[in-house]
């Protein structure tokens, strides 16, 4: 088994973990005393895990086109995390 073949499943694991974290976050939002911010917080953690999966995949990417696609996904996730964090701050500050 080559390194590239090995990294595929390794990168899939954080993706599955991210899905689980986000799903649990949404389910917990339904509990009494929770609000949308709780779900948004777990969504941020899920995005961070997806970012990790993307970075692991980046180790095996060869072509420039594939590299650009991975980079675009990573940048979108980074922007989403930053935006989410900004929105959470505004919710907490009440502004």
Quick one: 7 or 26, whose CB is closer to another protein?
7
Token duo for residue 83: 């935006």
Cα–Cα dist 39/49, whole Å? 15
* Contacts of range 22-25, beta carbons closer than 8 Å, 24 or more positions apart: 22/46
x-or-dash pattern for another protein, window 6-45, by CB under 8 A? -x--x--xx--x---x--x--------xxx-xx--xx-xx
Q: Which of 67, 69, 76, 95 binds another protein (CB under 8 A)?
A: 67
CA 79/CA 12 separation, integer angstroms: 22
Kindly report the backbone phi and psi dihedral angles of residue 83, in degrees, each rounded to the nearest multiple of 5, phi listed first: -65, -40
Contact yes or no for 61/34 (Cβ under 8 A): no
Output the smallest distance, CB 35 to another protein, in A: 8
Decide if residue 71 touches another protein (CB under 8 A): yes
**Binding-site ranges for another protein (CB under 8 A):** 3, 7, 10, 13-14, 17, 21, 24, 33-35, 37-38, 41-42, 44-45, 48-49, 51-53, 55-56, 58-59, 64, 67, 71, 74, 78, 81-82, 85, 88-89, 92
């Amino acid at each position: 088994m080559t390194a590239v073949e090995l990294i595929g499943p390794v990168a899939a694991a954080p993706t599955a973990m991210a899905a689980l974290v986000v799903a649990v976050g949404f389910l917990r939002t339904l509990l009494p005393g929770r609000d949308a911010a709780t779900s948004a917080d777990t969504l941020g953690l899920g995005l961070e895990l997806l970012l990790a999966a993307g970075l692991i995949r980046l180790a095996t990417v060869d072509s420039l086109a594939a590299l650009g696609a991975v980079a675009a996904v990573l940048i979108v996730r980074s922007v989403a995390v930053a935006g989410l964090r900004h929105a959470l701050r505004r919710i907490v500050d009440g502004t």
